[in-house]
Amino acid sequence: MSSLQNWINHGEEIRRPLMVNPKLAHSTTVVIVGGGLSGMCCAYRIATMRPDVKVIVLEQSQRLGGVISTWQDGEWICDLAVNATRPHPAFWRLIKDLGLASKFKPSRHQAQARWVLSRGRRHRLSWRSLFKIGPLKLWKSVKQSRVGGRSVAQVIPHKAIADALCLGIVNDTAEHVDADFLLPSLTGFGDSPPIKKRKLNRLIAETYPIFTPKKGSIASIDGGMATLIKSLGEKLLQIENVEVLFSQSVASAQTVAERFGIGLESIIWAAPGNRADYSESKLSIFAIGYRNEQVANVEVGYGTLIPDAELPISGILNESDLHYSKRAPNGHRLFRLMVPHSRWNGDEQTVLSCAENLLGTNPELFVKIGERSIPRYQPGYLRNIAGLDKSYSQVGWAVSGVSITHVVDEAERVAELFIE
């Protein structure tokens, strides 16, 4: 495939190195460790691209989807991890191939506004936020970041904005987050496109199936992300050359090679936590719901990021404002609260009091829906990944990028190696 076609298919993902053993594509059996979205997509793409290759997925738990799941209680529906996707043609291709096009819709346009709550004051995030940072200061720090290995705090020299961005995506503050990993196109990590960015973006826009997303928009699925996992899981079960084995806690790639009598080069590690410097941060997720009139003063929007560490809540997502599909009973609004354990004493009452201050008192619904861990991406993370040993392949959000678009696109890139 030409370099230009590669950029059109995968966009800025091309900047991220694939952690793939060059001999993987010669395998007749491929074993994938981890049945999260990444492992599932790799299995799906490789198995459909190459029906002659046997693909085995080993998942430690008894379900597929990894961190992705959707909580439901009657008409209240709330995702625990990802709830929507930013535009990327690979994700649109996946939705189309799974036959989910009719359930996939752009998020509601009225719910685009995002706010940052800092020292008790709410600021709306927009291009004007650039002036808060200082365009010249920002330009200088972005230019300096080209050396690589910088933190997001060094690239975006405005603590509240940089922290809000990082907390909203990786549950960590900006000085601890690798700018290359989070914003490779801004820091210029990796290869550059062979044509001007604007022209490339136009060509990419022409490739979207289903609908072409508007700039800055996001999209989500009827019933939450569980709909995607259910459909992908069912598809995997129908594919003859795929086998999914549950309750398989794998100790190492070596043990997989011995058990299946294959070389290390035929193993894809799609589970996080397989490197010496790997660590995670934890957070709890709460759902809180109100009758419309109780929260009439809360503006319709995407949500509010809260960098102030004195408050237990780091982010409020306006779930029922955002999605085209229903997330709350008629006449009600649903919000999702993100609570990092680094700033919470574990007492649910403190979360409720904080939410009541920020949203409204006496909610109709207040429930902790789960806990999740997110990989830490310390400055230098992406640079170090590029130098990792590739005796077996590694995919997933600990190596490719933190969002679902990264892991979905990465799976396509890995599968394409099987036909090159």
Ligand X SMILES: Cc1cc2nc3c(=O)[nH]c(=O)nc-3n(C[C@H](O)[C@H](O)[C@H](O)COP(=O)(O)OP(=O)(O)OC[C@H]3O[C@@H](n4cnc5c(N)ncnc54)[C@H](O)[C@@H]3O)c2cc1C
Q: Shortest distance, CB of residue 375 to ligand X, whole angstroms?
A: 8
Chain residues binding ligand X by CB under 6 A are 33-39, 58-61, 66-68, 81-83, 85, 248-250, 270-272, 372, 374, 396-397, 402-405, 407
- Tell me the HSE value of 387 on the side-chain side, using a 13 A CA sphere: 4
Nearer to ligand X among residue 42 and residue 142 (C-beta): 42
**Are the beta carbons of 267 and 33 closer than 8 angstroms?**
yes
- The burial class, CB within 10 Å (0-12 / 13-18 / 19+), for 333 is buried
- The sign of the torsion formed by the CA atoms of 32, 33, 35, 41 equals negative
Q: Shortest distance, CB of residue 136 to ligand X, whole angstroms?
A: 31
The candidate with the shortest Cα–Cα distance to 338, out of 281, 282, 285, is: 285
Nearer to ligand X among residue 142 and residue 167 (C-beta): 167
Q: Shortest distance, CB of residue 404 to ligand X, whole angstroms?
A: 4
Nearer to ligand X among residue 138 and residue 164 (C-beta): 164
Q: How far apart are CA 81 and CA 71, in angstroms?
A: 10
Nearer to ligand X among residue 90 and residue 138 (C-beta): 90
Q: Shortest distance, CB of residue 151 to ligand X, whole angstroms?
A: 20
Nearer to ligand X among residue 138 and residue 355 (C-beta): 355
Query: At CA 374, angle to CA 370 and CA 378, rounded to 5?
Result: 160
Strand order in the sheet with 54-58: 242-245, 54-58, 29-33, 267-269, 393-394
**Are the beta carbons of 106 and 217 closer than 8 angstroms?**
yes
DSSP conformation letters of 97-135:
HTT-GGGEEEPPGGG--EEEEETTEEEE-STTHHHHH-H
Angular region, 396: left φ>0, alpha ψ -120 to 50, beta rest: left
Nearer to ligand X among residue 33 and residue 111 (C-beta): 33
**Are the beta carbons of 289 and 76 closer than 8 angstroms?**
yes
Write the CA distances from 252 to 66, 206, 268, 367, integer angstroms: 18, 42, 11, 37
Q: Shortest distance, CB of residue 225 to ligand X, whole angstroms?
A: 8
Q: Shortest distance, CB of residue 293 to ligand X, whole angstroms?
A: 29
Nearer to ligand X among residue 33 and residue 43 (C-beta): 33
Nearer to ligand X among residue 34 and residue 363 (C-beta): 34
Phi and psi (nearest 5°) for 245?
Answer: -115, 125
Taken as a whole, the chain contains a residue count of 420
Q: Shortest distance, CB of residue 134 to ligand X, whole angstroms?
A: 28
Nearer to ligand X among residue 142 and residue 229 (C-beta): 229
Q: How far apart are CA 165 and CA 307, in angstroms?
A: 9
Q: How far apart are CA 228 and CA 6, in angstroms?
A: 26
Nearer to ligand X among residue 14 and residue 271 (C-beta): 271
Q: Shortest distance, CB of residue 311 to ligand X, whole angstroms?
A: 18
Q: Shortest distance, CB of residue 58 to ligand X, whole angstroms?
A: 5
Neighbouring residues of 64: CB distance < 8 A, sequence distance ≥ 6: 35, 36, 40, 229, 232, 233, 236, 244
Q: Shortest distance, CB of residue 121 to ligand X, whole angstroms?
A: 25
**Are the beta carbons of 216 and 112 closer than 8 angstroms?**
yes
